[in-house]
């Protein structure tokens, strides 16, 4: 709650005190959680765990809590405190550095976060890379080499698709779209996505995010830009995260199970609602006239086919959160590669802007004009979120695996979306995915829904090939 307030409503002057408050709480929580008494209690519960069905709430609670306890007790409390403090202080430094295009201002905070993360890595043993303990915080049980294998499969295909994709005219998005009307339309769409009224709120912030305090208190944020309507897809993206939190079973609340199994799975749902729903023809057959009515000067003369081509185009750009479906994962692959080099020590943090620009030129063929539109664009490193980025692209891949099961279960889904009815989709995902919370590992959860225990990039790549092939040549 303190972290949400820090990013949404807190005055700028409150950051130093807020960092201390968060550090104090992290110390109290960490000390209590890693206490030897909890270990003794978990050991006493081992016979019960072995007698319970693997799918039971209680068995899952004991199993998952034991893994958390065994991992966290390796981390000294003072290190946990400093990680939290540095993340809170770094957030404000990043905001100021981004606004003034001043990487040098941000560099000390980045170096501090990286130094602490290396100390954190030293608390663990790893199989393939020092990056793996950081990845495990967000994608449990997954190795760096497994991520590299998935990315190695999709990288050349995405690069080829981007190169071959037809250029699409989307200049109408370069106009000014009033922020008040953007907010009105976003909230109008949000009300139809199957979230229970009174269980969520939407607020503006510098970098969109979603957090939750329970399944009935979901906090989503978005960002209204001066041009375009990216705020709509940002809102639908965060609504996907919100759906996951909202759908977790009541029986799991206030336990370590009351979250998603991994950020990759969580991200699969933000991408589902943002892209598989929010960029689809059936969705816009319902909503486009309503959008035109909201912005008649900007979109009144733009027909549906032109609009759909624009929102589904593949066009390299500078900003990850504004990237299209095809180029998005290339942004993530760059960050994954840079993070590994930072952790391993083969890249000095002061050289990060240069490495970033070189990577953007190589992967996306774009020139980075300044650090605000380059290395300073994302919030994650300011908060010590190293290991987080790969989950975004993994989420893209997983979303299409789950979507195939959704399509099989809801054969008339297109007709429902065309009618503006998304409740059945939300209910199916809640009952089959969200309600499980963190009872099972990411691979176990994926297998329960898709009948495949592996992350398979092929449905994702086939989806993008089909989407780009449908774009009009020279649109």
* Spatial separation of the C-alpha atoms in residues 338 and 83, rounded to whole Å: 21
* Spatial separation of the C-alpha atoms in residues 45 and 13, rounded to whole Å: 47
The residues carrying an active-site annotation are 238
* Spatial separation of the C-alpha atoms in residues 241 and 220, rounded to whole Å: 8
Alpha helix locations (H) across 174-220? 179-190
Handedness of CA 306, 309, 311, 313 (dihedral sign): negative
Q: Please, are residues 451 and 297 in contact by the beta-carbon 8 Å criterion?
A: no
**pLDDT at 475 > cutoff 50:** no
**Which residues, other chains included, contact 43 with Cβ-Cβ below 8 Å and sequence gap of 6+?**
none
pLDDT tens-place string over residues 78-114: 999 999 999 989 988 999 999 999 999 999 999 999 9
pLDDT tens-place string over residues 338-347: 999 999 999 9
Q: Which two tokens stand for residue 444?
A: 């176990």
Q: Average pLDDT, stretch 281-298? A: 98
3-state secondary structure (DSSP) of residue 385: coil
* Spatial separation of the C-alpha atoms in residues 381 and 338, rounded to whole Å: 11
Closest CA to 145 of 158, 133, 129: 129
Closest CA to 278 of 245, 232, 343, 241: 232
Q: Which two tokens stand for residue 450?
A: 């898709």
% of the chain surpassing 70 pLDDT:
100
Q: Average pLDDT, stretch 409-420? A: 98
Q: Which two tokens stand for residue 40?
A: 């003794």
Q: Please, are residues 228 and 315 in contact by the beta-carbon 8 Å criterion?
A: no
Q: Please, are residues 366 and 403 in contact by the beta-carbon 8 Å criterion?
A: no
Q: Average pLDDT, stretch 403-412? A: 98
Average pLDDT over all residues of the chain: 95
**Which residues, other chains included, contact 65 with Cβ-Cβ below 8 Å and sequence gap of 6+?**
42, 256
3-state secondary structure (DSSP) of residue 102: coil
Q: Which residue has the tokens 């049980």?
A: 141
**pLDDT at 319 > cutoff 50:** yes
* Spatial separation of the C-alpha atoms in residues 457 and 300, rounded to whole Å: 38
Strands 217-222 and 200-204 come out as parallel
Around 254, how many Cα atoms within 13 Å sit in the side-chain half-sphere?
0
Closest CA to 266 of 403, 442, 451: 442
> What's phi and psi for 213, nearest 5 deg?
-110, -15
- Give the DSSP per-residue string, 27-59: HHHHHHHT-HHHHHHHHHTHHHHHHS-TTSHHH
3-state secondary structure (DSSP) of residue 126: coil
* Spatial separation of the C-alpha atoms in residues 188 and 181, rounded to whole Å: 10
**pLDDT at 155 > cutoff 90:** yes
Q: Where are the domains of the chain?
A: 2-130, 144-469
Q: Average pLDDT, stretch 139-163? A: 96
CA 69 to chain centre: 25
Instruction: Identify the architecture of domain 144-469 in CATH.
Output: Orthogonal Bundle (1.10)
pLDDT tens-place string over residues 356-404: 999 999 999 999 999 999 999 999 999 999 999 999 999 999 999 999 9
CB atoms within 10 A of CB 151: 21
Instruction: pLDDT band for 453, please (50, 70, 90 cuts).
Output: confident
pLDDT tens-place string over residues 3-26: 999 989 999 899 899 999 999 999
Instruction: pLDDT band for 321, please (50, 70, 90 cuts).
Output: confident
pLDDT for position 82: 96
CA 444 to chain centre: 20
* Spatial separation of the C-alpha atoms in residues 339 and 321, rounded to whole Å: 18
pLDDT for position 474: 55
% of the chain surpassing 90 pLDDT:
94
pLDDT for position 472: 86
pLDDT tens-place string over residues 239-256: 999 999 999 999 999 999
CB atoms within 10 A of CB 454: 12
The pTM for the full model equals 0.93
Closest CA to 112 of 387, 388, 389, 383: 383
Q: Average pLDDT, stretch 422-441? A: 98
Q: Which two tokens stand for residue 351?
A: 């050289």
């Amino acid at each position: 709650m303190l972290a949400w307030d820090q990013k949404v409503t807190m005055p700028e002057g409150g950051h130093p005190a807020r960092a201390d408050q968060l550090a104090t709480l992290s110390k109290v929580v960490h000390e209590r959680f890693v206490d030897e008494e909890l270990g003794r209690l978990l050991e006493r519960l081992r016979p019960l765990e072995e007698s319970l069905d693997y799918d039971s709430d209680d068995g899952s609670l004991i199993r998952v809590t034991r893994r958390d306890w065994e991992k966290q007790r390796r981390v000294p409390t003072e290190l946990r405190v400093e990680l939290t403090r540095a993340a809170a202080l770094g957030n404000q430094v990043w905001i100021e550095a981004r606004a003034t295009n001043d990487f040098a201002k941000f560099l000390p905070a980045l170096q501090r976060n990286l130094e602490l993360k290396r100390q954190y890595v030293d608390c663990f043993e790893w199989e393939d890379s020092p990056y793996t303990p950081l990845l495990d915080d967000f994608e449990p049980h997954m190795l760096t080499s497994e991520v590299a294998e998935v990315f190695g499969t999709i990288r050349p295909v995405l690069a080829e698709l981007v190169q071959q994709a037809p250029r699409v005219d989307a200049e109408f998005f370069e106009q000014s779209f009033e922020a008040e009307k953007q907010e009105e339309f976003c909230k109008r769409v949000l009300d139809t996505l199957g979230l229970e009224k009174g269980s969520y709120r939407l607020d503006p912030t510098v970098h969109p995010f979603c957090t939750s305090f329970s399944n009935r208190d979901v906090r989503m944020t978005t960002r209204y830009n001066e041009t375009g309507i990216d705020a709509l897809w940002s809102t639908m993206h965060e609504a996907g995260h919100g759906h996951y939190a909202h759908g977790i079973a009541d029986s799991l609340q206030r336990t370590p199970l009351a979250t998603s199994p991994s950020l990759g799975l969580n991200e699969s749902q933000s991408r589902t609602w943002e892209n598989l729903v929010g960029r689809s023809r059936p969705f816009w057959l319902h909503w486009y006239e309503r959008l035109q009515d909201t912005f008649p000067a900007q979109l009144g003369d733009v027909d549906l086919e032109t609009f759909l081509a624009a929102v589904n185009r593949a066009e390299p750009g500078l900003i990850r959160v504004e990237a299209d479906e095809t180029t998005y994962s290339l942004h993530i692959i760059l960050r994954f590669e840079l993070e590994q080099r930072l952790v391993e020590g083969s890249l000095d943090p002061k050289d990060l802007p240069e490495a970033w620009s070189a990577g953007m030129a190589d992967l996306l063929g774009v020139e980075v004009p300044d650090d605000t539109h380059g290395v300073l664009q994302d919030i994650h490193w300011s908060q010590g979120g190293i290991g987080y980025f790969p989950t975004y692209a993994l989420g893209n891949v997983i979303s299409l695996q789950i979507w195939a099961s959704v399509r099989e279960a809801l054969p008339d889904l297109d007709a429902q979306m065309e009618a503006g009815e998304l409740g059945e989709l939300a209910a199916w995902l809640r009952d089959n995915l969200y309600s499980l919370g963190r009872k099972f590992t990411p691979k176990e959860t994926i297998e329960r829904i898709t009948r495949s225990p592996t992350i398979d990039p092929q449905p994702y790549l086939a989806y993008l090939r089909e989407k780009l092939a449908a774009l009009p040549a020279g649109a």
